[in-house]
Structure 1
Amino acid sequence: MEQKKSKLNHWMRNSITARMFVVGFLLLVLLIPLKFVKALINERASRQEAVVKEINEKWGNEVLLSGPIVKIPYKVISEEKIFNQKSNSYFTKTKETIKNAYFLPDKLNIASQVETKPLNRSIYQSVVYSAAIDVTGKFPKIDFSETDILDENILWEKATVLLKTSNLKGIKTTPIVNLASETLIMIPQYSTEYLSTIQSNYIPNAKEIFATSHPFSFNLKINGSESLKFLPIGKETDATMKSNWHSPSFDGNFLPEDTNKEISEDGFSASWRVLQINRQFEQSFFGHLPNLSASAFGTKLIIPVDEYQKSERTAKYGFMVIGLTLLVFLLIQLVSKIYIHPFQYVMIGLALVMFYTLLISISEHSNFFKAYSIAAVAVLALITIYSRAILKGFKFPLLICASLASLYGFIYVIIQLENYALLVGSIGLFIILTTIMFASRKIDWNNES
């Protein structure tokens, strides 16, 4: 029995196949703590998302603005035949229903100035903004002659102007619409729709005002977060946006004009021009105003890849880092004939896993570069010192330190890249594979003594 055990130990210590099998098995085992690390990153990222959402809700969520729109009620007279059982005959009952006609402006100009600032809660940060929006334009002459609505059924005295927004909470000034010579104060209306409605008081002399085309204007100060969008309800809609935010993402159904778009570290400016022919709805609606949100355009004020996203992307390379590092130790073991115990492989693997916990914990209190550098230096020092004790010299530990430092540097470069990450990653892996093939070419793989 002792002889068989001795032969097994000898085979485990000297057989290349056995050592490769052990290292491969340990690599699979080390995927378990690596999986826990990825779960920790996701949990911390979810916590950040919840805190940012709470900050944004208290400051003001995303803003989608639509308006102004003229609403004019009108009466619809219908007749209904009702059967009278007592007289065994029908009689006619006249029914009056109030409906609304909605008219969009011919010309709509929107100028917005967006100032962003960070808001912090504990270790988490959100970017919010305050927007000053100036809106001018012109309403068309409103004519019911092309409809079957009789003039006496039009309730001109109840005509109003509507604004619609997704964020009533963020409004910081009471909107006042200037129409012709009238000043209209806006008040909120109850609504269960996505866009809340702000409606003016009744327009004095509405019939006379809308007998011809008239200009309008209003300004709005509003707090928001994440995005600022507008609806192109004008027959011609021109919009401009200027901000001190350096990472905009132009979003929605229309992109800004390239000739008037500028993005720099100090902020951005952009302009849009949308014509009626560019979107799929008309300039007037009768009975019901549909949801036009699908035609919105604007800007997302995005935060560039944050620390949790970078940590998650780094952790995706964890299997490669652990695998290549253990492979380097295995090749050194085969070349130098120094025995490395499976327990020592496990300790090296756990040290590599600790890099990711250090990275995420430090990055919550510092920038990603500093966190990455500290975690990498700490793990490099630990593994180099530990391998010095295993390999009994400086030659191989320094080789391991250089290899691991190059690998961490390579991964950091990939994390920073966006458009060329796949290209650089593929080239880098090809070089790594070539190096390993070159280094292992003189190993006697047939030596299974």
Structure 2
Amino acid sequence: MTSQKQRFGNWLKHSISAKMITVGFLILILLIPLGFVSDLIRERGFRQAEVIQEINSKWGGQVIINGPILKIPYQQYVEEKIFNESTKTYMINQKAVRQHAYFFPNNLEIGSDVSTKPLERGIYESVVFSAASTINGKFASPSFTEIELKDGDILWDKATVLFKVSNLKGIRNTVNIKLGDTEYTLNPKFDNSYMNTLESGFVKNLDELQEKPMGFESEITINGSTSLQFVPIGKETLVSMNSNWHSPSFNGNFLPETEGKEISDKGFTAKWKVLETNRRFGQSFFDQLPDLNEFSFGTEFLIPVDDYQKTERTSKYGLMIIGLTLLVFLLIQISSKIHIHPFQYLMIGLALVMFYTLLISISEHKNYLFAYLISGASVVTLITVYSRTILKSNKFTLLILGSMLGLYTFILVIIQIEDYALLVGSIGLFVILSIIMFTSRKIDWAGASISD
């Protein structure tokens, strides 16, 4: 029995297969703390999203503006059967039902100046904006020919002008609209429609609109976050947007024109032109105004890639870093006959896992690059000093230092270049595999030594 234990111990100590199995098993074990670290990163990212959502909700959320819209009531008649008990017959009675027609502008021009700024709560930061928009254009003479009404059934004196706004809480000025030569104040109106409604009182000078197009002017200043969008309800809609935000994301149903778009470190300028033929609805609706938000367009104001996203992407390379680093130690052990205990492999692996906890904790207070450099330098220094005590060779210690610096530099480059990350990563892994293959071919796997 003793001799069998001795043979098994010698096999574990001297067999290359045993060493490779041991290192492979340790790598699998290290996946457990690496998984815990990944969960921690995701949890902190979710916490950031919750705090940002809370900040945005108090300042003002996503902003969608739809208007101005001319709302004109009209009467339609429906037949109603009434049973007469005395004659035992039905009488036909016509009942007047009030409906509403909605007419969009013939021309709509919107100029919006958007000023962004960061809002902080603790270690978290959100980007919010204040948009000052000037809205002007012309209404054409409304046409009811589609539903064939009598002139007396159109209630011109009950007409109003309304805006649909997604976020009333963010409005910072009294919203007025100048229609022709008369100015009207728009006030909130409770209804069950898809967005909040601002509506004027009765329009007094609508008779002028029946003879010729009538111009309008309005201004609205609104606080918001995430995005600013407009619904293209004009027969021709022109929108221009200027902002100090340096990395906009143009979203929605329409993109800005290439010629009018400029983006720099100081901000951006964008222009849109949308015609009636570019969308799937006309210039008027009768009875109900549908939800047109799906046709909106504008700009999204978000931090492109935050530190939590970069840290999470970095952690996905954790298995590769741990595997390649322990593989270098294994190749040194096999080629030099230096004995490295499994406990020492485990300590090296745990130090590599600690890199990610350092990275997430430091990046919450500093930027990602600073956190990466500090965390990487700390772990590389720790493992290099530790390997010097194990390997007792300057040559192998420098090899460990060089390989780790190369690995961490390689990962940093991949994280920074998002567009070419897959290409650079694939080429880098191919080069690393080639180096390992050509290095390991010199190993005498039977005698566990380097061949000349």
User: So what's the TM-score if we normalise by structure 1?
Assistant: 0.98
Q: Is 2:316 the counterpart of 1:336?
A: no
1:438 to partner: Cα distance: 1.3
Q: Which runs of 5+ in 2 are unaligned?
A: none
Shift in Å, 1:345: 0.8
- Counterpart in 2 of 1:207? 207
Question: Which segments of structure 1 move beyond 4 Å, counting only runs of 4 or more?
Answer: none
> 2: distance between equivalents of 1:448 and 1:290?
77
**Partner residue, 1:34:** 34
Cα displacement (A) at 1:209 = 3.2
For structure 1, which runs of at least 5 residues remain unmatched after alignment?
none
Query: Helix, strand or coil for the counterpart of 2:259?
Result: helix
CA drift at 1:89 = 0.9
Q: Distance in 2 between matches of 1:144 and 1:318?
A: 68
Task: Provide Cα deviations, 1:144-168, integer angstroms capped at 9, x if missing partner.
Answer: 2453111111111110001011111
| Partner-residue secondary structure (3-state), 1:406 | helix
Q: Do the aligned partners of 2:335 and 2:448 also contact (CA within 8 Å) in 1?
A: no
CA–CA separation in structure 1 for the residues paired with 2:143 and 2:136: 22
User: Offset at 1:25?
Assistant: 0.8
How many percent identity over aligned positions? 57
Other structure's SS at 2:13 match: helix
**Equivalent residue number for residue 196 of structure 2:** 196
Structure 1 counterpart of 2:18 = 18
Distance 1:377 1:208 in 2: 76
The answer to whether the 8 Å contact 1:17/1:448 transfers is no
What's the CA shift string for 1:34-84, capped at 9, x where partnerless? 000000000000000000000000000011111000000111111212223
Query: Does the 8 Å CA contact 1:141/1:213 hold for their aligned counterparts?
Result: yes
Query: Which amino acid in the other structure matches residue 137 of structure 2?
Result: G
The question of whether the paired residues in 1 share the 8 Å contact of 2:334 and 2:448 is answered with no
Q: What is the deviation of 1:85?
A: 4.1
Q: Is 377-386 or 392-401 further displaced after alignment?
A: 392-401
CA displacement 1:334-379 (0-9 Å, x = unmatched): 0110111111111100000000000000000001111000000100
CA gap 1:78/1:432 in 2 versus in 1, 3 angstroms: same
Decide whether aligned partners of structure 1 residues 195 and 152 sit closer, same or farther in structure 2, where only a CA change above 3 A counts: same
Q: CA deviation at 1:448?
A: 7.8
Partner of 2:401: 401
Q: 3-state SS of the aligned residue for 2:186? A: strand
Cα pair distance change 1:341/1:146, threshold 3 Å: closer
Matches within 5 A, 1:151-162: 151-162=151-162
Query: SS state of the match for residue 445, structure 2?
Result: coil
Q: Aligned runs of 1:400-439 on 2, under 5 Å?
A: 400-439=400-439
In structure 2, how many angstroms separate the alpha carbons of the residues matched to 1:192 and 1:9? 79
CA distance in 2: counterparts of 1:327 and 1:95, whole angstroms: 88
Whole-angstrom CA distance in 1 between matches of 2:95 and 2:192: 28
CA shift for structure 1 position 251? 0.3
Confirm whether residue 48 of structure 1 aligns to residue 48 of structure 2: yes
Question: 1:180 touches 1:214 (CA, 8 Å); kept in 2?
Answer: yes
Q: For 1:18-167, list aligned pairs within 5 A.
A: 18-167=18-167
Deviation at 1:325, TM superposition (A): 0.4
Change (3 A) 1:184 1:396: same
Task: State the SS of the aligned residue for 2:131.
Answer: strand
**2:377 aligned residue:** 377
C-alpha contact (below 8 Å) 1:16/1:447 kept by paired residues: no
SS at match of 2:35: helix
SS in structure 1 at match of 2:91: strand
Q: CA RMSD in A?
A: 1.2
- The C-alpha deviation readout for 1:101-140, integer Å capped at 9, x for no partner, is 0000010001000000000000000000011100110000
